[in-house]
Amino acid sequence: MAILLIMLAALAVPPQARDPGERAFQRCAGCHSLRPDDSQSVAPSLHGVFGRRAGTAEGFAYSPALREAGRRGLTWDAATLAQFLEDPEAAVPGTAMPYQGGPASERAAVIDFLRRRAP
Ligand code: HEC
């Protein structure tokens, strides 16, 4: 009986809630899609963002600041994502991302989540 209850409890947890990174990504999901070639008007797709040059997702009109940062070589990895999410405006002055990436522990979880999804 106890085992059955535990199994039922596990089934009741939505799959995304089991992964802290995916759960933390819900803060980003209002603006960012994770599907390829799915940049919305509000924000670029983060599909494959890990290892990608900044400002280069198809179909999104980036701020000049982020495009220029990418031209100068800014590429998204654990370190650059950590800086950007901690303080987007300090990392890329002039960026149009109107959001700071939440508490430090969630930022780390989100970065780990994006790294695990890298192609
Ligand atoms: C309120 C909307 C909004 C939220 C919430 C948001 N972002 Fe953004 N994000 C943007 C916009 C807009 C840009 C494009 C900025 C520019 O062009 O300067 C952006 C850009 C980015 C980029 C650069 C992408 C690239 O292709 O160079 C990364 C990485 C990023 N966001 C990660 C995140 C993460 C991770 C979260 C959640 C912790 C998040 N964002 C939450 C709006 C948002």
86-119 pLDDT tens trace: 999 999 999 999 988 789 999 999 999 999 988 7
pLDDT over threshold 60, residue 14: no
With 90 as the cut, is the pLDDT of residue 46 above it?
Answer: yes
Q: Please give the distance, rounded to the nearest whole angstrom, from the Cα atom of residue 5 to the centre of ligand 1.
A: 40
Cβ–ligand 1 distance for 99 under 6 Å, the answer yes
Indicate if the alpha-carbon torsion angle 30, 99, 58, 40 is positive or negative.
positive
Which residue's CA is minimally distant from atom 37 of ligand 1?
28
CA distance linking residue 41 with residue 55, whole number of Å: 14
Would you say the C-alpha torsion 92, 93, 96, 99 has a positive or negative sign? positive
Tokens of 56: 């280069």
Angle, in degrees to the nearest 10, between helices 20-29 and 104-116: 100
Domain boundaries along the sequence of the chain = 23-116
* Ligand 1 neighbourhood includes 91 CB (under 6 angstroms): no
- 23, 111 in Cβ contact below 8 A? no
Does the beta carbon of 86 lie inside 6 Å of ligand 1?
Answer: no
Q: If you classify domain 23-116 with CATH, what class do you get?
A: mainly alpha
Confidence of residue 11 (pLDDT cuts 50, 70, 90): low
The pLDDT of residue 118 is 80
